[in-house]
Amino acid sequence: MSASLPVVGIVGRPNVGKSTLFNRLVGRREAVVAPEPGVTRDRKAAEAAWRGHPFIVVDTGGWSADGDTLDGKVSEQSERAMDDADVLLLVVDVTVGITEPDARLAALLRRRGRPTLVVANKADSRTRDDGRWEFNRLGLGEAWAASALHGRNVGDVLDRLLDLLDVDADVDGNDPSASIPGSPDGAANPAEGTDPGCDEFASEDEVPVEGEAAVPAVAIVGRPNVGKSTLFNRLIGDERSVVHDRPGTTRDTIDTLVETEAGPVRFVDTAGMRRKARVDADTEYYANLRALRAIDACDVSLLVIDATEGVTAQDQRLAERIDAAGCPIVVLLNKWETLDAEHRERVLGELARRLHFVGESPVLRISALTGRGVHRLVPAVSAAMEAYESRAPTAKVNEIVQLAQSAQPAPGGARVLYATQAATQPPTFTLFVNRELPATYLRYLERRLSEELGLAKTPLKLRVRRR
């Protein structure tokens, strides 16, 4: 997303339809939506456009003047979005009317002086349109009735938004009757979904991480409450994600481009993932979907493990899921400074036993809270990316395979006749054989290729073709 584009912030109290409007404007199910209040907690930005005019739209959590510590942090994120936006969309519920939080938030917006458009949401039919007039009493100008879920009157809201952004709505010859962004299928709906279809976790085919293909995407993944958002905020140098000791604070994937000594890197914060059998709410289900989409789309995954709890079976399953996606893993033992010598030895033993399949993937002992050891993260990511994108000459690949076969022939007269590297990201090798090779022998060849080509920091894939 270009920093030169105007920024439109969506704000409002909880459960008025801010994330539904966000999804409508960007034209896809980007933000998690559920009927209960408080689903969105972090600021989430995406690019949208109307009549040829692109802009950045920012979704926020529900603003509240009262509540617990977590509510206060969510409200703080919302207020930061207010300060950063060029124009604000204040979303209210036309079926409820003005509430005390609406009035208090409107007063806050008047003091900030940002151009603000009041969107009286949930006007699903003409009979509800007249309810918008009540919101003129908020002192922020004329309210506009719309239905973010169904797209009704959203085009009129966007026309008025372009006026506030001070651009010509009909520039570049765009049709003034252009349809609204997205569609009813594009609006997020908790009733919609796909079959989980991925062992212990759910999955989805959409790609969440956007941006230039040349910029590596690094997903921060792990169980709930292991310190992912704390690490994300430290890496990007900003309090972008809400951090709280309540498990499951993060619901959406949040990504930010960061300039590092190794070049630009897109870090992606994800929701904590539990086993599918333990996911008992639509909100967590869809949060898991987005986290898994981030894993499938990323170039490197940072697996954050809470060292105070050790390497759990859930950490193992998650590492297996990342390994199956084919991207390199950098294991981060967070909160390491809190462990004594005995506990550290126990954790390292669990790591060797439960995550042996990740090979020589880097293991960093860090403290996301204090920043200890975090400086080693970018070099480890760079080394993993180098292996992930490496390509070996065909002659070298065949030499390694032939030497491996000479040292340990395959059973039953099976033999690799020819081998070549077919692809990168991850390194993928095609083996042409005279007959089927046992799985154990394929693992042997994979290990030899990894060792001889220096690819221990990335997964390999072998494809077998019979001649």
**Alpha-carbon dihedral sign for residues 192, 197, 200, 205:** negative
Instruction: Check residues 212 and 377 and name the one with the higher pLDDT.
Output: 377
Confidence band for 127, pLDDT divided at 50, 70 and 90: confident
Residues 6+ apart with CB under 8 A from 395: none
Cβ pair 228, 270 in contact under 8 A: yes
Confidence band for 18, pLDDT divided at 50, 70 and 90: confident
Cβ pair 43, 59 in contact under 8 A: yes
Say whether pLDDT at 52 is over 70. Answer: yes
Question: Is the model's pTM score more than 0.85?
Answer: no
Question: Above pLDDT 70, what percent of the chain?
Answer: 77
pLDDT value of residue 206: 37
d(CA 11, CA 58): 9
- Closest by CA to 339, choosing from 330, 348, 352, is 348
- Calculate the average pLDDT of the chain: 79
Say whether pLDDT at 293 is over 70. Answer: yes
Confidence band for 209, pLDDT divided at 50, 70 and 90: very low
At 39 the three-state DSSP class reads coil
First and final C-alpha spacing in the chain? 48
- pLDDT single digits (tens) 128-176: 888 999 999 999 999 999 998 888 899 999 999 999 988 665 544 444 4
pLDDT value of residue 336: 94
Mean pLDDT in residue range 364-384: 91
The answer to which of 38-52, 76-90, 400-414 has the lowest mean pLDDT is: 38-52
Confidence band for 189, pLDDT divided at 50, 70 and 90: very low
pLDDT value of residue 67: 52
In order of their start, the domains of the chain are 7-173 (3.40.50.300), 217-388 (3.40.50.300), 394-466 (3.30.300.20)
Which range of 26-30, 194-198, 204-208 scores highest in mean pLDDT? It is 26-30
Cβ pair 432, 417 in contact under 8 A: yes
